[in-house]
Chains A and B, each alone.
Chain A
Amino acid sequence: MNKVSMTVNGKAVSGEVEGRTLLSSFLRDDINLTGTHVGCDTSQCGACVVHVDGEAVKSCTMLAAEADGAEVKTIEGMANADGSLSVIQQAFQDHHGLQCGFCTPGMVMSAAALLKENPQPSEQEVRTYLEGNICRCTGYHNIVKAIMAASGQDVSVIAAE
């Protein structure tokens, strides 16, 4: 067992983990932040995406020990300080960018990382960026729309509003 300490959503946390413990299980099982989901075991689905030191990371591909000392942000830390939905979260609700909600935390975290690096992505750029995030429910139409809307673009011309 090793001791790991990190900052998660602005709060200092620590725990005792085995060397093989993944960051995703540390978040879910050790500090009870169950918003980060696990949808696969081959690092393909992106349900587990969090930010580590500002970068989007699939938390199932990182050991908890590797995140020792890091600044981690999860879906639980994405709302505004007053608890209201952030611009991206609000856009997902406004444009029906989620159904069962299971892929949603990873989608929102990926979307935030995309918009940081590309503030006005085209439809194709959004689709390409989401290569590592699988959604089985929405067909992506409304996810793409929500992300473009969150970036301040007019999505009213996209069909099936």
Chain B
Amino acid sequence: MPKDNGIGASSKRREDVRFLTGAGRYTDDINIHGQAYAHFVRSDVAHGTINGIDASAAEAMPGVLKVFTATDFEGVGGIPCGWQVTDRHGEPMQEPKHPVLAEGKVRHVGDPIAVVVAESLGQARDAAEALEIDISELPAVMDMKDALTEGAAKVHDDLTSNLCYDWGFVEENREAVDDAINGAHHVTTLELRNNRLVANPMEPRVAVGDYSAADDEHTLYTTSQNPHVIRLLMGAFVLGIPEHKLRVVAPDVGGGFGAKIYHYAEEAFCTFAAKALRRPVKWTSSRSEAFMSDAHGRDHVTKIELAMDEQGKFLAIRTDTHANMGAYLSTFAPSIPTWLHGTLMAGNYTTPLIYVNVKAVFTNTVPVDAYRGAGRPEATFQLERVVDKAAREMGIDPIELRRRNFITEFPYATPVAVEYDTGDYNATMDKLLEISDHSGFEVRAAESKANGKLRGFGIAHYIEACGIAPSNLVGQLGARAGLYESATVRVNATGSISVFTGSHSHGQGHETTFAQVVAEMIGIDEGQVDIVHGDTSKTPMGMGTYGSRSLAVGGSAMVRATEKIINKARKIAAHLMEAAEADIELKDGQFTVAGTDKSVAWGDVTLAAYVPHNYPLEDIEPGLEETAFYDPANFTYPSGAYGCEVEVDPETGKVKVLGFAAADDFGNVVNPMIVEGQVQGGLAQGIGQALLENCAYDQDGQLISASYMDYAMPRADDLPMFTVDHSCVTPCTHNPLGVKGCGEAGAIGSPPALVNAVIDALQRGGHDVKHIDMPLSPDRVWTAMNG
């Protein structure tokens, strides 16, 4: 019988009721009495010198309160970067200043130059037309390899070059890897591009700044995945506001996918302007603005080499990647192509020697940072593509080649510095073959052939590192923050519970899942537990939600706090029943004394905690509220096998995804319905990357794909029904729930499976196509077939 309450139940999401009735409270739904409206004036050239800005006409326009430019931000800090990477020579990365508003130069289309604040948005926009900005255009730095040549134009004049860092990992292995590759029986080489994407949460970003002169308090309402991180970065590094005078609220947030992790200029601006003008200031991004101001994702150019022996045993991997940073360093940007990418290059395989080289490059494009998966999709894509290519070259079935190289013993220390705790990759592979009806494939392929179509099946097996992350470890790797999570569990006198979590939900359903966990531990109904998140004035310092960390790290903090609650409640129960604490048991919300029929209910104990008439006051304090901070001992390592079946129309090159199956090992699962939804959503984004989405610039740095007319978001009609399974379970060994995290898997495992499927279809059709860069548009596929 499936459970209907607690851990393992597909509890219906409680947050849905407000979202389904229009009662959600998103940031743009917040209007503060007297608020003014900010309109950002952005660069329409990729690179240029600002000769002058004349705001006099604009400031004279009706309703205009003020036009802000860089001069208003003298003495204000730049937007900070939260991660410092050390290069292969032991030197720190080059780190340019990222001003709130452009100083002297503009460096990408969309770079904010000035902000008009007016009584109404219409007035602000009208006045922006009257702003006179004199810019001399400079040559745009667009291609990463060109950007590193001698004499190339520089994005930042004060840096020595456009190279942010040249990172080698593991540097000590460099020569051994070269030797292994030089001496190998066979080396498969693949050059590819991981296409630049725009995260595109459906809710555009919004910031509302408010200032109370009476108590010198600032409040920022913002579309953020991590309000405490914004408070820390903006307060300490940009505006110099101490934490106790700065409240950051991220209410209902309409999706994030990484793009709402970072601290953005608009947040600092609205907070700053609210004080300067003594008026609340609101900014709402349009979608067009989002395309040129939300951090982008991916954009790697990679060469990967895989060396094998006669049997196809992997001997060594060497990769050479250029990673686009864009014009400035976004909050976590330097860590994505390095620690979230290089450390995953072992994949699921026993390859003993690995060397990853990454050159991070500044270009005149929007900053690039984490997008769902962040580094791990880039690692998985190149690895699972090169393994497929190697299988063809070696004449070994791609499933068999993977199995020959699977890691089967755990814990397993990879040559790229991480230790996988658990996994069973053959089990997920078997499960995938079952749920994708792999044995029936040949029959289906024959049917397609009879209809003049080419059918192909592609597979990918992924590993990811989630539950980000042990603070001491990431500190050594350059993180400028800890990555613990926090929870306060406040039990009320009548036994109901409010949990204040540092995690943030922007679609993941924490209000439901987290309540399931606490309810299970105490044995009460989920309805008794409320989850509070997203407001720095309510929740303890937390690092927020990204990297599939909420349940593994935030949930673990909540478990620890709940354990403290239960321990204290047992003491109270022991007192009430005049029994020894060691004999007290808690089950289904009842405390009992072992071996007797004595019991007290949860509600009696909680009431005693707040009405301590009969209470062990000499031993314990009244009240029932506990906080825990949880710092994980390791990453978690979800893994899974993904299979994609496609049909290619040889006439047009159009690819149709007929079926997609995912067999994941997420460890223990709290709410299967929500986990399945997370995988489905991730698959859609991965299929979007592989088939449809591409953020494109022309050589002058103009953003070509700047709206939904040109950036192909996956629509309902582009996708199949998915077959997802999470019955392969090897629980995580180092967190109390045994969970691994499920938020990013779909986006990580699906692109290589899809591309492998298309290559399979073409090869079966007699076309010797070895690789096509994503997205696999009809044009690219047709050209590959006929070129």
Q: Which residues of A contact B (CB under 8 A)?
A: 18, 20, 28-29, 33-42, 44-45, 47, 74-76, 78-79, 85, 89, 92-94, 96, 98-105, 108, 123, 126-128, 130-131, 133-144, 158-160
Question: A140 touching B719 by the CB < 8 A rule?
Answer: yes
Q: Hey, which chain B residues are within 8 Å of A143, CB to CB?
A: 716
Question: B202 touching A96 by the CB < 8 A rule?
Answer: no
Question: B203 touching A100 by the CB < 8 A rule?
Answer: yes
Question: A134 touching B713 by the CB < 8 A rule?
Answer: yes
A45→B287 CA distance, assembly (Å): 10
If A44-B709, A138-B677 touch, whether A130 touches B715 (CB-CB below 8 Å) is yes
**Interface residue from B22, B26, B257 paired with A75 (Cβ < 8 Å):** B22
Q: Hey, which chain A residues are within 8 Å of B724, CB to CB?
A: 159-160
Question: A89 touching B20 by the CB < 8 A rule?
Answer: yes
Q: Closest CB of chain A to B170's CB: distance in Å?
A: 37
B 680-696 binary contact with A (CB < 8 Å = 1; else 0): 11111100000000000
Pairs A–B under 8 Å by Cβ, sample size 7: A28-B29, A35-B23, A39-B203, A42-B707, A96-B676, A104-B19, A104-B20
With CB as the reference atom, state the residue of chain B lying closest to A139: B684
B708 at the interface (CB under 8 A from A): yes
State which of B140-148, B273-281, B505-513, B599-607 sits at the interface with chain A.
B505-513
A143→B16 CA distance, assembly (Å): 13
Question: A136 touching B286 by the CB < 8 A rule?
Answer: no
Question: A140 touching B684 by the CB < 8 A rule?
Answer: yes
A44→B53 CA distance, assembly (Å): 35
**Interface residue from A36, A76, A101, A144 paired with B254 (Cβ < 8 Å):** A101
Q: On chain B, which size bracket covers the interface?
A: 35 or more
Question: A128 touching B16 by the CB < 8 A rule?
Answer: no
A103→B601 CA distance, assembly (Å): 43
B52 at the interface (CB under 8 A from A): no
Question: B708 touching A102 by the CB < 8 A rule?
Answer: no
Q: Hey, which chain A residues are within 8 Å of B24, CB to CB?
A: 35, 101-102
Most buried by A among B19, B26, B708, B717: B19
| 6 tightest Cβ-Cβ pairs between the two chains A and B | A35-B22, A101-B19, A102-B254, A139-B684, A100-B507, A99-B507
Question: B716 touching A133 by the CB < 8 A rule?
Answer: yes
With CB as the reference atom, state the residue of chain A lying closest to B288: A41
Q: Hey, which chain B residues are within 8 Å of A85, CB to CB?
A: 17, 20-21
B201 at the interface (CB under 8 A from A): yes
Q: Hey, which chain B residues are within 8 Å of A76, CB to CB?
A: 21-23
**Interface residue from A75, A100, A136, A140 paired with B200 (Cβ < 8 Å):** A136
With CB as the reference atom, state the residue of chain A lying closest to B199: A136
Q: Hey, which chain A residues are within 8 Å of B257, CB to CB?
A: 136
A141→B659 CA distance, assembly (Å): 12
With CB as the reference atom, state the residue of chain A lying closest to B713: A134
Question: B203 touching A93 by the CB < 8 A rule?
Answer: no
B721 at the interface (CB under 8 A from A): yes
With CB as the reference atom, state the residue of chain B lying closest to A76: B22
With CB as the reference atom, state the residue of chain A lying closest to B435: A159
Question: B680 touching A100 by the CB < 8 A rule?
Answer: no
Q: Hey, which chain B residues are within 8 Å of A18, CB to CB?
A: 122
A36→B723 CA distance, assembly (Å): 32
Q: Hey, which chain B residues are within 8 Å of A128, CB to CB?
A: 716-717
Q: Closest CB of chain B to A142's CB: distance in Å?
A: 6
Q: Closest CB of chain A to B374's CB: distance in Å?
A: 16
Q: Hey, which chain B residues are within 8 Å of A75, CB to CB?
A: 20-22
If A139-B680, A139-B684 touch, whether A96 touches B674 (CB-CB below 8 Å) is yes
A35→B709 CA distance, assembly (Å): 25
B502 at the interface (CB under 8 A from A): no
Question: A130 touching B721 by the CB < 8 A rule?
Answer: no
Q: Hey, which chain A residues are within 8 Å of B684, CB to CB?
A: 138-140
Known: A44-B707, A85-B21, A99-B507. 20 other contacts (CB 8 A): A33-B22, A34-B22, A35-B21, A41-B287, A92-B16, A99-B509, A99-B678, A99-B681, A100-B507, A101-B16, A128-B716, A131-B715, A134-B202, A136-B202, A137-B202, A138-B677, A139-B683, A141-B680, A160-B676, A160-B724
A63→B509 CA distance, assembly (Å): 36
A29→B282 CA distance, assembly (Å): 13
Q: Closest CB of chain B to A44's CB: distance in Å?
A: 4
**Interface residue from B288, B673, B719 paired with A139 (Cβ < 8 Å):** B719
If A41-B707, A96-B674 touch, whether A136 touches B21 (CB-CB below 8 Å) is no
With CB as the reference atom, state the residue of chain B lying closest to A126: B716
Q: Hey, which chain B residues are within 8 Å of A108, CB to CB?
A: 20
With CB as the reference atom, state the residue of chain B lying closest to A44: B708
Q: Hey, which chain B residues are within 8 Å of A44, CB to CB?
A: 707-709, 713
A40→B683 CA distance, assembly (Å): 23
Q: Which residues of B contact A (CB under 8 A)?
A: 12-13, 15-26, 28-29, 31, 122, 200-204, 252-255, 257, 286-288, 506-509, 673-674, 676-678, 680-685, 707-709, 713-717, 719, 721-725, 746
A94→B22 CA distance, assembly (Å): 17
With CB as the reference atom, state the residue of chain B lying closest to A40: B287
A159→B661 CA distance, assembly (Å): 10
Question: A47 touching B202 by the CB < 8 A rule?
Answer: yes
If A76-B22, A101-B24, A134-B715 touch, whether A142 touches B677 (CB-CB below 8 Å) is yes
A127→B684 CA distance, assembly (Å): 14
Q: Hey, which chain B residues are within 8 Å of A29, CB to CB?
A: 31
A158→B287 CA distance, assembly (Å): 34
Q: Hey, which chain B residues are within 8 Å of A137, CB to CB?
A: 202, 255, 507, 677, 681
A94→B10 CA distance, assembly (Å): 10
Question: B16 touching A98 by the CB < 8 A rule?
Answer: yes
Q: Hey, which chain B residues are within 8 Å of A142, CB to CB?
A: 677, 680
Q: Hey, which chain B residues are within 8 Å of A34, CB to CB?
A: 22, 25-26, 28-29
Question: A99 touching B287 by the CB < 8 A rule?
Answer: no
A159→B726 CA distance, assembly (Å): 13
Question: A102 touching B26 by the CB < 8 A rule?
Answer: yes
With CB as the reference atom, state the residue of chain A lying closest to B23: A35
**Interface residue from A36, A131, A160 paired with B680 (Cβ < 8 Å):** A160
Question: B16 touching A93 by the CB < 8 A rule?
Answer: yes
Q: Hey, which chain B residues are within 8 Å of A42, CB to CB?
A: 287-288, 707-709
Question: B122 touching A144 by the CB < 8 A rule?
Answer: no
A131→B18 CA distance, assembly (Å): 25
Question: B722 touching A100 by the CB < 8 A rule?
Answer: no
Q: Hey, which chain A residues are within 8 Å of B717, CB to CB?
A: 127-128, 130-131
**Interface residue from B122, B506, B716, B719 paired with A131 (Cβ < 8 Å):** B716
Question: A94 touching B12 by the CB < 8 A rule?
Answer: yes
A74→B680 CA distance, assembly (Å): 28
Question: B202 touching A74 by the CB < 8 A rule?
Answer: no
A85→B20 CA distance, assembly (Å): 8
With CB as the reference atom, state the residue of chain A lying closest to B686: A139
Question: A139 touching B676 by the CB < 8 A rule?
Answer: no
If A99-B509, A131-B715, A136-B200 touch, whether A158 touches B721 (CB-CB below 8 Å) is yes
Q: Hey, which chain B residues are within 8 Å of A98, CB to CB?
A: 13, 16, 19-20
A24→B285 CA distance, assembly (Å): 15
With CB as the reference atom, state the residue of chain A lying closest to B708: A44
Question: B715 touching A103 by the CB < 8 A rule?
Answer: no
Question: B507 touching A101 by the CB < 8 A rule?
Answer: yes
Question: B21 touching A93 by the CB < 8 A rule?
Answer: no
With CB as the reference atom, state the residue of chain B lying closest to A130: B716
A114→B653 CA distance, assembly (Å): 32
Question: A96 touching B21 by the CB < 8 A rule?
Answer: no
With CB as the reference atom, state the residue of chain B lying closest to A159: B723
A136→B692 CA distance, assembly (Å): 14
A92→B286 CA distance, assembly (Å): 28
Q: Closest CB of chain A to B315's CB: distance in Å?
A: 38
Question: B20 touching A45 by the CB < 8 A rule?
Answer: no
Q: Hey, which chain A residues are within 8 Å of B719, CB to CB?
A: 127, 139-141
A74→B23 CA distance, assembly (Å): 12
Q: Hey, which chain B residues are within 8 Å of A35, CB to CB?
A: 21-24
A152→B287 CA distance, assembly (Å): 36
Q: Hey, which chain A residues are within 8 Å of B19, CB to CB?
A: 98, 100-101, 104
A20→B253 CA distance, assembly (Å): 28
Question: A135 touching B202 by the CB < 8 A rule?
Answer: yes
Question: A141 touching B722 by the CB < 8 A rule?
Answer: yes
**Interface residue from B21, B253, B287, B725 paired with A39 (Cβ < 8 Å):** B287
Question: A136 touching B255 by the CB < 8 A rule?
Answer: yes
